[in-house]
Structure 1
Amino acid sequence: MPDPTTGAGFDAPTPEVAYLSAPKMLSEAAALLDLSARRQAATAAAVAAGGTYEDPDERTYLLRRAALADRLSIEYPDVEDFLTDAVRLAHELAAYDRDHGTGQGPIGPDAIEWDPSHRPYVRQEYEVTR
């Protein structure tokens, strides 16, 4: 049976491989806060000017956020909120990639490979884009 936590049974990198060159989790969390603030400021400025904002960093933000949640859920397996976030954010990334055709890995977000979890999909995408 596939194990989304270890990656066993999925044709995707294991967490150890996917996140080998990832920044420390605290550094990544700080970088994500900064990216989020910049995205919100750009959106607010565009709306104030009467327009809309097409966010070029949206997919990067979704991917990095999903990867951090996945890493936290692995590091702290007894914290159920981390697992819940990892599952939810992985699904959000897959949905975004499906809707926008932005997946970059060899297996698309709709593949049966990701049943029962998109967490290994996040690892595939993270490894391909790092």
Structure 2
Amino acid sequence: MPNHTAGPAAPTTEEAYADAPDDEVEMLALMNLSRANHNTPPVHGREWMLRYAAQQDRAALRRPAPPAGSVPIRPGARPPRDPADFANQLRELDRRDGTGRGPLGPDAPEWDGEVGPLGYVRQEYLAWRSAQLSDLAAVGEAMRAMAEVTDDNVRSGQAAGRGEPWPREQLLDLARRRVAAYVRAVDFGIDAVADQRRAEAELRELEAADGNARP
């Protein structure tokens, strides 16, 4: 049920995004979430919508205002979407599903006032990110998974150097575990972007070689 109870003011942008990942990390996390949902926009979950709305807000905050009297965009170019559009989409979703986490619900009058709907995104992002980082067991598991696949990758290289390469099935399993570990790390905001992309490329090569080797 929507929460109409008055509460504290929305967090500032500095408070809301203090622990937000770098843009490259967050954009890859969004791509990972999209792939997990089979790239079908209607099934983007609430987390994707929240994180995307927050990313668009952060991008707009960094965008310099055009000089007075200048043409803001080149003729024929499509202007960037207003981040408030995504904020209102999040409000509508939370209004429908009752999924808001912050002290002020999506229908609170504050979001139609001076702070605007982006205040709702900042409130909800701070609540979500704080909960994500406070799950120490999950964060620790992500870190251990990265360490394990790194160690296993070193061992497989050492075995190959001794002329004792691991079996193809074992290498494929390791490659898949590496991708999964880096995807999880990126989700928590750990800068494993290059690691994930390298692991995905190596997995594709192994899967292609495995397919060519089968009768």
Aligned pair partner of 1:25 in 9, 20, 23: 23
Matched, 1:115 2:102: no
Displacement of 1:40 after TM fit? 2.1
Q: Distance in 2 between matches of 1:73 and 1:92?
A: 17
Matched, 1:125 2:112: no
Q: Distance in 2 between matches of 1:115 and 1:98?
A: 14
Which position in structure 1 is the counterpart of 2:45? 58
Displacement of 1:63 after TM fit? 0.4
Aligned pair partner of 1:94 in 91, 94, 103: 91
Displacement of 1:77 after TM fit? 3.8
Letter in 1 for 2:25: S
Identity of aligned residues (%): 42
Q: Distance in 1 between matches of 2:35 and 2:107?
A: 31
Q: Distance in 2 between matches of 1:37 and 1:111?
A: 34
Q: Which has the greater radius of gyration?
A: 2
Letter in 1 for 2:110: E
Q: Distance in 2 between matches of 1:103 and 1:38?
A: 23
Which position in structure 2 is the counterpart of 1:7? none
Aligned pair partner of 2:58 in 62, 65, 71: 71
Q: Which runs of 5+ in 2 are unaligned?
A: 1-7, 66-71, 73-78, 130-215
Displacement of 1:27 after TM fit? 1.1
Q: Which runs of 5+ in 1 are unaligned?
A: 1-9, 44-52
Map of 1:6-17 to 2, 5 A cutoff? 11-17=9-15
Partner of 1:67, secondary structure, is helix
Q: Distance in 1 between matches of 2:64 and 2:10?
A: 21
CA RMSD of aligned residues (A): 2.1
Q: Distance in 2 between matches of 1:68 and 1:94?
A: 16
Instruction: Name the TM-score, length of structure 1 as normaliser.
Output: 0.74
Instruction: Name the TM-score, length of structure 2 as normaliser.
Output: 0.46
Q: Distance in 2 between matches of 1:13 and 1:77?
A: 22
Higher relative contact order (CA 8 A, sep 6+): 1
